[in-house]
Amino acid sequence: MLSKKMTAAINSQVVAELYSSYLYVAMGAWLQTEGYLGAAHWMGLQAREEVFHATKFYNYLLERGAEVKLGAIEAPPFKWKSALEVFEKSYAHEQKVTALIHNLMSLAKAESDHAAEIFLQWFVTEQVEEESSVQEIIQKYKLAAGQGAGLFMIDQELAARTLSVLVKDALTATPPAAA
């Protein structure tokens, strides 16, 4: 059984992950409006991946016999100055999520909740990948320095992104019945 403190923290993380999805949907909409269709596609898949993360936390709460309490999701921003700024804001957001995951891990360690530590390790590793992939995109945008041909090439590369099999399978599976 999860402690009340860990249950509340994971419920908060579900909301944080859903906010991440909502933010990436907003970013994708702006990118599409500005003609960055590949980047919009990338953000759309990122939004779906964040729903997958929220679902993992939700399911973990249920598996541990804890109560799921969904909170309100704040409205995200909807305008940016450039595609580069979108990805810089995405990177800053991923850093915040990383801090939230690290706080959850610290709580699990403080409570000697070994099952939670093992569960959270996947997210610790995932956040390294999340930050790295966005950093790589930022570097490419900076290298392109606003030049049309370079931006076009980056957009084409972002359009080629696909969901991992794990995420795709999880998002198409039938959700478990509440206990």
The pLDDT profile of the chain, 179 residues, written as one tens digit per residue, is 899 999 999 999 999 999 999 999 999 999 999 999 999 999 999 999 999 999 999 999 999 999 999 999 999 999 999 999 999 999 999 999 999 999 999 999 999 999 999 999 999 999 999 999 999 999 999 988 878 888 888 888 898 888 775 565 666 665 555 54
Question: What's the one-letter identity of residue 106?
Answer: S
Q: How far apart are CA 52 and CA 48, in angstroms?
A: 6
Give all domains of the chain, ordered by start, each with its CATH number: 4-171 (1.20.1260.10)
Do the beta carbons of residue 70 and residue 15 sit within 8 Å?
A: yes
Do the beta carbons of residue 24 and residue 54 sit within 8 Å?
A: no
CA-CA distances (angstroms) from residue 14 to 11, 104, 114, 146, 154? 5, 12, 20, 36, 32
